[in-house]
Amino acid sequence: MNPYHGLWLKAQELMPGGVNSPVRAFKSVGLDPLIVSKAKGSKIYDVRGKAYLDLVMSWGPLILGHAHPEILKAVKEALEEGSSFGALSHREILLAEAICNALPSLEKIRFVSSGTEAAMTAIRLARAFTGRDKMIKFEGCYHGHSDFLLAKAGSGLATYSLAGSAGIPKEVLKSTLVLPFNDWVALEKTMNRFGREIACILVEPIPANMGLVFPEKDMLKTLRKMCTQKGILLIFDEVITGFRVGYGGAQELYHVQPDLTILGKIIGGGFPVGAVGGRKEIMDQLAPLGPVYQAGTLSGNPVAMAAGLKTLEILKRKGAYEKLEKLGATLAGGLEEILKKKKISFQLHRIGSMMTLFFNDRPIENYQDVLQCNTEKFNQFFREMFRKRIFLPPSAFETWFLSLSHSAQDIESFLKAADQTFKAY
């Protein structure tokens, strides 16, 4: 038996679906999954030693690339001092200061261990602060896998055509109002009917879990205005966009300050971390100051804090975001040229180092538009690129990520593989 295949069979015997997160199974693209042994820079290696050009980058956090030497050094120093304390450490304070300085909407911050945990905490805070129960989220926006947020949540759910999840009582979802993204009519009707019952509006300012979709002009500013008028808290989920689309995140890009912000991915430099931050009077509702309970043994883990501090330090250096923009523009421009030459219908959405290729001839503005895309064409594209050692997210409903470790030669290799792939279409 092929040792690689034997390892995959063993994984399926030991773990549900053989994986610890659904999209890793490659089920939707019809292949056995990548089983990784190591990674360095822009490359990821399977257990056979085969190298792949990586555009997944651990789903976004590795903005510096795999095993960055300065991150390794910072992590080693932190590990030598202890891996977990169960007490306040100096690095938590330093990273909190760095993040609050980067995002003016954050006056205080609470570290947790994942984006899911941060979203749960933000909503609990909003409900306690406003005294209201209902919340608004948008179709295709993913905010983690807590019960009341798994309603038309995009990401892996879209991949497997699920509208929610088994095991969630219907009563739990009654307080979650789900609206189409970029739909002003639905938003206005909902606000008019339930405005004084709504605690918060939770939104990815640039949705990146149904593929990359952009807000309509002034959408975020209008949301801010509506929330202020009706006493609703505006929560930005910047788990993906935070420090990715710019040092100040999407809120800096669009000049909109939310009441609360959810962060993750990059602020841990590749280690598990999440955070919620915002206005002082809201954040002070958290225990031990206020009545909103939240706790975590591994929150503010010193190793993750060290990696996050070093990541933010590197991103502040001159030219970091300019390089990411150049890499993204070169890859997207080259790919568009190939697709037009082959006369293939597509929509390519990009901002900085993030992008998604949709196989569709109509504009993509919301989750329903995304669901109309040709997923079989994407699956064919994925399989051919994977055979050419290009590792893309194994789903038509995800975002691709570049890093500072990617080179002009990497982009050239990607475009060459794409050109060869589309010749077969």
Tens digit of each residue's pLDDT, the chain (425 residues): 576 888 999 999 999 999 999 889 998 898 999 999 999 999 999 999 999 999 999 999 999 999 999 999 999 999 999 999 999 999 999 999 999 999 999 999 999 999 999 999 999 999 999 999 999 999 999 898 776 676 654 444 333 333 456 766 676 677 889 999 999 899 999 999 998 999 999 999 999 999 999 999 999 999 999 999 999 999 999 999 999 999 999 999 999 999 999 999 999 999 999 999 999 999 999 999 999 999 999 999 999 999 999 999 999 999 999 999 999 999 999 999 999 999 999 999 999 999 999 999 999 999 999 999 999 999 999 999 999 999 999 999 999 999 999 999 999 999 999 999 998 77
Give the pLDDT of residue 414.
Answer: 98
Whether 142 is catalytic is yes
Type of residue numbered 199 = A
pLDDT at 154: 42
Architecture of domain 69-315: 3-Layer(aba) Sandwich (3.40)
Distance CA 47, CA 45 (A): 7
Amino acid at 249: G
CA neighbor of 399 nearest in space, from 344, 341, 325, 328: 328
3-67+319-423 to CATH, choices 3.90.1150.10, 1.10.3720.10, 3.40.50.10710, 3.40.1190.20: 3.90.1150.10
User: Per the structure block, which two tokens stand in for 398?
Assistant: 């995800």
* Given 43, 134, 265, 310, the catalytic residue: 265
Nearest C-alpha neighbor of 256 from the set 332, 304, 205, 208: 205
Residue 13 contacts by C-beta under 8 Å, 6 or more apart in sequence?
A: none
Predicted TM-score (pTM) of this structure: 0.94
425 is catalytic: no
3-class DSSP assignment, residue 184: helix
Residue tagged active-site, from 43, 54, 137, 237: 237
Residue 201 Cα to chain centre, angstroms: 18
Please give the pLDDT value at position 148: 63
User: How confident is the model at residue 14, as a pLDDT?
Assistant: 96
Give the pLDDT of residue 50: 96
Which DSSP string corresponds to 327-345?
Answer: HHHHHHHHHHHHHHHTT--
C-alpha dihedral sign at 335, 340, 345, 350: positive
Which secondary structure element, helix H or strand E, spans residue 101, and what is its range?
helix 90-102
The domain segmentation of the chain, as residue ranges, is 3-67+319-423, 69-315
Collapsed DSSP state (helix, strand, coil) of residue 199: strand
Active site residue 310: no
**What confidence score (pLDDT) does residue 164 get?**
59
Q: Which of 27, 54, 137, 142 is catalytic?
A: 142
Topology match between the domains 3-67+319-423 and 69-315: no
Greatest C-alpha distance within the chain: 66
Q: How many CB atoms lie within 10 A of CB 217?
A: 8
Specify whether the CB–CB gap between 53 and 414 falls below 8 A. yes
